[in-house]
Amino acid sequence: MRKKLLLGNWKMNKTREETKVFALGSLALSALAELHGIDIGVAPAYLSLPVVKKYNPNLLVASQNVHYQPSGAYTGEISIAMLKEINITWAIIGHSERRTYDNETSERCNLKIKALLANEMTPVYCVGETLAQFEKNETKKVIKEQISAGFSEISSENAAKVVVAYEPVWSIGTGRNASSEIAQDVCSYIRGLLREKYGEVAEQIRILYGGSVKPENIKTYLSTADIDGALVGGASLSIESFKELINNMI
């Protein structure tokens, strides 16, 4: 049985002070989520990672990115050792905004995923097609490439520890969420690809949907066979809306 997961991706939002207010406000939500067997967490900006840890140690905390090299001349980057030092054990990899603005490729994502797994950390690997690819009916072709490259040279034991997030690029921040039928179809396709490679282990891998998830629509995704949770941007920023998301997952 896969545990449900709600992960808020804060992107470049919230100062440390705003993060503190949210973290304190989320203490009761962590207790609620635990009671119902749901994992909840947020991915704040780097500077706010320790703030969440400090004010709500029960919230799962993810970095929004990480470099695959242990250290070196990579201006503006952050290493796994730096995250581990402050007890951050999760990282989002390959978010579409990083693929779009920072030339993140699936091959680079694979290096990052391998580095994280070698350090017993949890990668949340994002995949998804652009609007042009969606309209050309290329979704599954794109997803296949992204899954195949991202999971290259990863053992089945390690694959079980990866979380996959299907986020169609055309649905991120647009208010145009993919229907639960489309999302389930793609997530089931992803699980099928993982089953081809890893057999039964694929049943353990959590797959999230992301893209304009709101309290009003989260339930429809969670009631499908292959969607185990959500990666949420805008609707994860206010504590009220985050609480509604959790309530509607229960």
Kindly identify the residues of this chain, within the stretch 154-173, that bind ligand PGA according to CB under 6 A. Answer: 167, 172-173
Kindly identify the residues of this chain, within the stretch 227-246, that bind ligand PGA according to CB under 6 A. Answer: 231-235
95 is catalytic: yes
67 is catalytic: no
We find the least distance from the C-beta atom of residue 90 to ligand PGA, in angstroms, to be: 14
Per rule CB under 6 A, is residue 211 in the interface with ligand PGA? yes
Instruction: Considering only the stretches 17-25, 55-63, 211-219, 242-250, report the one whose residues sit in contact with ligand PGA under the rule CB under 6 A.
Output: 211-219
Per rule CB under 6 A, is residue 210 in the interface with ligand PGA? yes
Kindly identify the residues of this chain, within the stretch 67-106, that bind ligand PGA according to CB under 6 A. Answer: none
Instruction: Considering only the stretches 130-138, 190-198, 204-212, 242-250, report the one whose residues sit in contact with ligand PGA under the rule CB under 6 A.
Output: 204-212
What is d(CA 201, CA 14) in angstroms, rounded to the nearest whole number?
37
Choice among 67, 157, 167, 196 that is catalytic: 167
Catalytic sites, residue numbers: 95, 167
**Which residues of this protein are in contact with ligand PGA, per CB under 6 A?**
9, 167, 172-173, 210-213, 231-235
